[in-house]
Amino acid sequence: MKTIEHWINGSPAAGAETRTTPVFNPATGKEQTRVALGTAADVDAAVVAASRAFETWSESSLTRRTQVMFAFRQLLVEHEEELGRIISAEHGKTVDDARGEIVRGREVVEFACGLGDVLKGSFSDQVSRGVDVHDFRQPLGVVAGITPFNFPAMVPLWMHPVAIATGNTFVLKPSERDPSAANFVAGLYRRAGLPDGVFNVVHGGKEAVDAILGHRDIEAVSFVGSTPVAKYVHETGTKAGKRVQALGGAKNHAVVLPDADLEFAANHITAGAYGSAGERCMAVSVAVAVGEAADALVAALERKAREVRVGPGDVPGTEMGPLVTKASLQRVENAVGTAAAQGATVVVDGRGLKVDGHEDGFFTGPSLLDHVTAEMDAYRDELFGPVLAVVRVGTLDEAIELINANPYGNGTALFTGSGEAARRFQRNVKVGMIGVNVPVPVPMSYYSFGGWKDSLIGDSPIHGPEGVRFCTRPKVVTTRWPRPAQKVAAGFDFPTSS
């Protein structure tokens, strides 16, 4: 069985250790390959390569860096289907869904292709007599990315195009559950003309993460994953003097007002809840039914949940694939049982689903829970599976109160026909990304992505202008060019302008 190796200095690298962990095909439940578990020595080898590459890459012209990004973008277009299949085989999501994440990740490459505009500094003429001021931004050095299993292409693409195009070099530690996409992308970068050592991959788990957090030659760490690990990475990394952005978990509410088009809302909430088997940080996991919308909404959601076509991700027509691991499957099915025991109504029970010919796959069907309350585990926990909880409230203000009391604040959506309600919602809700009649409001790449509260630890959202800020540091230059004969008095008082 082949082992997926690290990618260091432009080539696959076996690494210092021979320890590996299995990678499963979630649709069959079978181990299909193994991946190397990186150690501190592997992280160090990648950082040494990245530090060396930084010396020349940071001196390369902006034109050259963006030309590499243009070539890389083209290769992502040409290999979209192939990469989509690689992702589907390890993650379980459908090939079309995987292609969707590649497209959304590619948009960050497109943003990086136009970085010249974003990197323009400011210039102030004659701030004092004969004195001008300008500013510019420079890369940090080696930037590391630590990423989750649920978007093995898109989430790393939120990070490395911006880091690399601004002149940094990069070490990626992808999820050990679906590691192949990272190496495939590394190969595309090489073909795009990226110099060796600018983009590196070290596989593994906690040991590799700890080595990144403790490595003195890594300047910044970009993390996306669950909230407990985000908190740990932020605390440990900042204690070691690094810049850290850490995006965490979520519990995303979709609020439906009685004036909404209920059929439209139910369609979109169903897709947002069960797409990618609910394993999206922007998945709709709570539908908040306001007032008289509730009964009709639940009836429509039930009808649509029963219509979802569950199967292997590479079979055309499949809408929802399996969960990523057997442990996830058990956790999600247990959560449905706990919800019932705590008083929720199980309107659609997805537990125990078997897919013909794939009996050992990690499949569960869509589950729909009604009469869920804020005290129940099904509401409090991020289930990260195809379970939609309906909470019933009386008014829009109660819905906003519910959302604001939730510890997470990643995404939320409002379904309504009222502009006044939409405006009140977006101004008062404590959430970073908001959709109005849009269930999964992932911002375009030229905006920044990030939640509030426990969905983002620290203060730095990812990609877009905030991503550029995160990957660079500013310099402000105050300049005077006196004429040779000109006398400029030097005062002992603190300089002021005149």
Select from 192, 250, 308, 320 the one that contacts ligand NAD (CB under 6 A). Answer: 250
The sign of the CA dihedral 357, 360, 362, 367 is: positive
User: Does an H or E element contain 450, and which?
Assistant: none
Cα-Cα-Cα-Cα dihedral sign, residues 275, 278, 279, 284: positive
Which CB atom, from 100 or from 249, has the smaller least distance to ligand NAD?
249
**Segment interacting with ligand NAD (CB under 6 A) among 97-105, 172-180, 188-196, 267-275:** 172-180
Tell me the closest approach of the beta carbon of residue 421 to ligand NAD, in angstroms: 26
Residue among 155, 300, 372, 383 that touches ligand NAD (CB under 6 A): 155
Q: How far is the CB of 172 from ligand NAD (least distance, A)?
A: 10
Q: Residue 170, interface with ligand NAD (CB under 6 A)?
A: no
Which residue of the set 23, 281, 283, 457 is catalytic?
Answer: 281
Residue 323 touches ligand NAD, criterion: CB under 6 A:
no
Instruction: Report in angstroms how near the CB of residue 494 gets to ligand NAD at its nearest.
Output: 45
For 147-270, where are the E strands, in sequence order? 169-173, 199-201, 218-224, 243-247, 252-256
Residue nearest to ligand NAD (CB): 225
* Paired tokens of 332: 């999600």
Instruction: With contacts defined by CB under 6 A, name the span among 222-230, 373-381, 414-422, 470-478 that binds ligand NAD.
Output: 222-230
Name the one range near ligand NAD by CB under 6 A: 242-250, 258-266, 269-277, 481-489: 242-250
Nearer to ligand NAD, 13 or 182 (CB): 182
Interface with ligand NAD, residue 108, by CB under 6 A: no
Binder to ligand NAD among 142, 164, 186, 229 (CB under 6 A)?
229
Distance CA 450, CA 34 (A): 32
Rg (CA), the chain: 25
Whole-angstrom CA distances from 85 to 4, 92, 277, 363 are 17, 10, 17, 19
Q: Name the minimum Å distance from CB 24 to ligand NAD.
A: 14
State the chain's maximal CA–CA distance in angstroms. 90
Q: Among 24, 72, 111, 149, which residue interacts with ligand NAD (rule: CB under 6 A)?
A: 149
Q: Which is nearer to ligand NAD, 178 or 370 (CB)?
A: 178
Cα 94 to Cα 322: distance, rounded to the nearest angstrom: 9
Instruction: By CB under 6 A, tell whether 247 contacts ligand NAD.
Output: yes
Q: Is 113 an annotated catalytic residue? A: no
Instruction: Find, among 194, 299, 252, 219, the residue nearest to 453 by Cα.
Output: 252
**For residue 137, what are the contacts with CB-CB under 8 A and spacing of at least 6?**
119, 121, 166, 468, 472, 473, 474, 475
Q: Is 205 in the site for ligand NAD (CB under 6 A)?
A: yes
- Report how far apart, in Å, the C-alpha atoms of 427 and of each of 404, 408, 410, 411 are: 12, 17, 15, 14
Q: How many residues bind ligand NAD (CB under 6 A)?
A: 28
Q: Provide the H-helix boundaries in 34-153.
A: 40-57, 62-78, 80-91, 95-113, 115-118
Compute CA distances 456 → 26, 222, 430, whole Å: 29, 11, 12
User: Rule CB under 6 A: is residue 382 a binding residue for ligand NAD?
Assistant: yes
Q: Does 249 bind ligand NAD (CB under 6 A)?
A: yes
Task: Tell which residue, 253, 290, 283, 301, has the closest CA to residue 413.
Answer: 253
Residue 146 or 310: the one with the smaller Cβ distance to ligand NAD is 146
Using rule CB under 6 A, residue 410 touches ligand NAD: yes
The answer to whether the beta carbons of residues 52 and 58 sit under 8 Å apart is no
d(CA 355, CA 361): 8
For ligand NAD, the closer of residues 137 and 173 by Cβ is 173
Residue 281 found at the interface with ligand NAD (CB under 6 A): yes
Place of tokens 């989750």: 148
- Is 147 one of the binding residues for ligand NAD (CB under 6 A)? yes
Q: Is 206 in the site for ligand NAD (CB under 6 A)?
A: yes
| Binding residues among 422-481 for ligand NAD as defined by CB under 6 A | 451, 455
Residues carrying an active site annotation: 281
Residue numbers at the binding site for ligand NAD (CB under 6 A): 146-151, 155, 173, 175-176, 205-206, 209, 224-226, 229, 232, 247-250, 281, 382, 384, 410, 451, 455
